[in-house]
Structure 1
């Protein structure tokens, strides 16, 4: 039984690491009407990352006139070249867990990811809910990614929930969408 669970969890984690093949619903879209709050997801991959524990460079805003549809959402891009890169392989650029907080998914729930709290790990874009949550996620990035990958296929397919995330500490309430 235990080995079956490990095998299933490993398969789910692998599916997520290979491009988010296991989907738990549509891409999260906030009040901006765009995925990732209208920031250019391709541009994240062109930025130099700050070391773990330090703030990342600001994301690049996309333009409402340069967009593409993917996973039920509109993504905006700063340039036509970035849009073309995205269209060639959207799963390579779209945030993992459909733009939900990577730590929240690791803890068993879906809350919005903040596009300003990002990190690229193994060629994949991850977002977190708030700075303190990102700090907890960064304490064991590989472990949290593996746990989130195992949790992801079983989560409610609806976008970010207003329900609390299991196992998050009391002081870290999810953002209502």
Structure 2
């Protein structure tokens, strides 16, 4: 009986993980399961800039693929992926806070706030980082709430 209960628990655990992974793939801003358009998420924190990663240096976290510009960045990510993943699944932080919409980003337009990476839309003479900076505190609260609704 204990073995049967253990087996059932294991099945539900894997089912929960696969649902979570599927939700991430469905809701995150990905191009062929690759996050941040192939930019290295660790570089934002270590060098304060955006830099493309290499396909040869890849890590997959809960179904989402990340590219890295160096082996040390990949290693840092593997040790603590949640420390480096962009907020709101890589969608525009301003749009998430302003309207709850998933809007594409320019990976080179970003901001690190309290150790978290926020990405922004920046094209066609519209840089949403400028609007974000005017009301950052309120937008973070709204964006956090809106993202929770999407990812549940």
Query: Normalized against structure 1, the TM-score is what?
Result: 0.64
Residue matched to 1:109: 101
Residue matched to 1:140: 135
| Root mean square deviation of aligned Cα | 1.9
Q: Could you say what secondary structure the match of 2:77 adopts?
A: helix
Residue matched to 1:41: 41
Q: Deviations over 1:73-127 (max 9, x none)?
A: 2100011110010011101001000100101111211112221110000000000
Residue matched to 1:119: 111
The Cα shift of 1:156 comes to: 6.8
Q: Indicate whether 1:74 and 2:65 are aligned.
A: yes
Corresponding pairs, count:
124
Contact 2:57 2:70 in 1 (8 A): yes
User: Which structure 2 segments of 5+ residues have no match?
Assistant: 1-22
Contact 2:24 2:64 in 1 (8 A): no
Distance in 2 between the 1:150 and 1:61 partners?
30
Distance in 2 between the 1:95 and 1:62 partners?
15
Q: Deviations over 1:4-55 (max 9, x none)?
A: xxxxxxxxxxxxxxxxxxxx74331136x6211111100100124xxxxxxx
Query: Normalized against structure 2, the TM-score is what?
Result: 0.74
Q: Indicate whether 1:150 and 2:140 are aligned.
A: no
Contact 2:40 2:52 in 1 (8 A): yes
Higher strand content, 1 or 2: 2
The structure having more radius of gyration, on CA atoms, is: 2
Q: Which of 1 and 2 has higher RCO (CA within 8 Å, sep 6+)?
A: 1
Q: Could you say what secondary structure the match of 2:56 adopts?
A: strand
- Which aligned segments of 4 or more residues in structure 1 are displaced greater than 2 angstroms? 24-27
Residue matched to 1:99: 90
User: Which structure 1 segments of 5+ residues have no match?
Assistant: 1-23, 49-56, 158-177
Structural mapping, 1:1-12, within 5 Å? none
